[in-house]
């Protein structure tokens, strides 16, 4: 909040606020739909990467980047099938622990409508402990299902943590309903999130889009603008063209043919 008086020469000061270290619980959907192959993404052995492979890579990138910004952030990991399973319960700032947790993640062999209630219960319990140490709590859910809307039961007046969602889905088809799933995730986010939660989605199947979205989640919940005002990452097509350089003097003073402008289209 800005404080001061209007008028020429007025001085404004930004009210000081404490930015807390984060405890972040990352939850990965391991439904069989996490095995859908990504487009144009291959591993070192030439095998096409799946959604789960790409999610693992993006999480390692996220944790490494987050710790580079602030080495005091901490992370734990879980998976979601029908219900919640803990992969790494203890919160740690060690990147080696993140890599080990990603290796331990494996897809589920069966599919059932998921329930987020236990995820929210665990988050609320851990958030209370984090607050005792002056930290804030965040949940990041990677969700992969195009036809199963998650369930949850949670009181509307209990917002103890921030909730972010990264949603990977198929394109709409008669046998799925990604828009309805997305709307359900938005409702859950608005229902439980303490600070501004972000929900990002992609139905393109491109790993680079996933990585780009995950980097947006590096933003600290206490420093965020509302998602509707976000304009990042900016599409190349939306960037204003660079100004053209001034034309050089013509060598031939009698020349009348104009030089065509450079094209800004790809």
Binned at pLDDT 50, 70 and 90, residue 230 comes out as: confident
Residue bearing the bigger pLDDT, 235 or 19: 19
Contact 147, 181 (CB under 8 A): yes
Q: Which two tokens stand for residue 108?
A: 């589920």
Arithmetic mean of pLDDT, 170-179 = 94
Arithmetic mean of pLDDT, 222-248 = 68
Write out the residue range of the structural domain in which residue 205 sits. 19-224
pLDDT at 187 over 90: yes
Kindly provide the residue ranges of all beta strands, DSSP E only, lying in 162-241, ordered along the sequence: 162-168, 199-202
In a domain, 77, yes or no: yes
Q: Which two tokens stand for residue 109?
A: 């062999």
Determine the pLDDT at residue 45: 82
Residue bearing the bigger pLDDT, 246 or 177: 177
In a domain, 51, yes or no: yes
Could you identify the residue written with the tokens 């192959």?
A: 37
Determine the pLDDT at residue 257: 38
Q: How many Å apart are CA 25 and CA 76, to the nearest integer?
A: 5
pLDDT at 24 over 50: yes
Q: How many Å apart are CA 241 and CA 92, to the nearest integer?
A: 45
Taking only the tens place, the pLDDT of each residue in 50-64 is 999 999 999 999 999
- Closest C-alpha to 12, from 2, 21, 22, 24: 2
Contact 139, 164 (CB under 8 A): yes
CATH of the domain at 80: 3.40.50.410
Least confidently predicted of 171-185, 200-214, 240-254:
240-254
Could you identify the residue written with the tokens 């002056």?
A: 134
In a domain, 14, yes or no: no
Arithmetic mean of pLDDT, 59-88 = 96
Average of per-residue pLDDT values in the chain: 86
Number of domains, the chain: 1
φ/ψ of 53, rounded to 5, equals: -60, -45
Determine the pLDDT at residue 75: 98
Q: Write down the pTM of the prediction.
A: 0.82
Q: Is 24 exposed, middle or buried (0-12, 13-18, 19+ CB in 10 A)?
A: buried
Binned at pLDDT 50, 70 and 90, residue 42 comes out as: confident
Q: How many Å apart are CA 80 and CA 84, to the nearest integer?
A: 5
Determine the pLDDT at residue 90: 93
Binned at pLDDT 50, 70 and 90, residue 211 comes out as: very high
In a domain, 54, yes or no: yes
Contact 65, 218 (CB under 8 A): yes
Query: If DSSP codes are grouped into helix, strand and coil, which group holds residue 14?
Result: strand
3-state secondary structure 153-173: CCCCCCCCEEEEEEEECCCCC
pLDDT at 92 over 70: yes
In a domain, 101, yes or no: yes
In a domain, 230, yes or no: no
Q: Classify each residue of 58-72 as buried b or exposed e, where b means 16 or more C-beta atoms within 10 Å of its C-beta.
A: bbeebbeebbeeeee
In a domain, 5, yes or no: no
Q: Which two tokens stand for residue 132?
A: 């005792």
Share of the chain above pLDDT 70, in %: 81
pLDDT at 35 over 70: yes
What string of DSSP letters covers 29-62?
E-SGGGGPEEEEEE-TTSPEEEHHHHHHHHHHHH
In a domain, 246, yes or no: no
């Amino acid at each position: 909040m800005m404080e001061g008086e209007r008028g020429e020469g007025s001085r404004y000061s930004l009210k000081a606020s404490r930015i807390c270290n984060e405890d972040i619980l990352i939850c990965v959907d391991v439904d069989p739909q996490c095995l859908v192959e990504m487009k144009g993404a291959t591993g070192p052995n030439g095998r096409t990467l799946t959604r789960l492979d790409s999610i693992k890579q993006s999480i390692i990138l996220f944790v490494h980047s987050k710790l580079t910004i602030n080495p005091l952030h901490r992370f734990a990991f879980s998976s979601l099938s029908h219900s919640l399973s803990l992969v790494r319960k203890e919160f740690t700032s060690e990147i080696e622990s993140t890599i080990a947790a990603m290796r331990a993640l494996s897809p589920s062999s069966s599919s059932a409508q998921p329930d987020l209630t236990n995820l929210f219960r665990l988050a609320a319990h851990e958030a209370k402990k984090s607050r005792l140490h002056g930290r804030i709590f965040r949940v990041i859910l990677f969700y992969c299902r195009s036809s199963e809307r998650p369930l949850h039961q949670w009181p509307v007046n209990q917002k103890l943590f921030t909730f972010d969602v990264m949603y990977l889905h198929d394109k709409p088809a008669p046998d799925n309903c990604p828009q309805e799933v997305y709307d359900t995730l938005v409702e859950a986010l608005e229902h439980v999130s303490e600070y501004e939660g972000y929900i990002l989605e992609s139905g393109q199947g491109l790993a680079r889009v996933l990585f780009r979205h995950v980097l947006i989640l590096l933003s600290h919940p206490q420093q965020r603008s509302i998602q509707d005002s976000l304009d990042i990452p900016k599409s190349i097509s939306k960037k204003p063209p660079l100004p053209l350089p001034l034309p050089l003097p013509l060598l031939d003073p009698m020349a009348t043919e104009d030089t065509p402008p450079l094209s800004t289209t790809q």
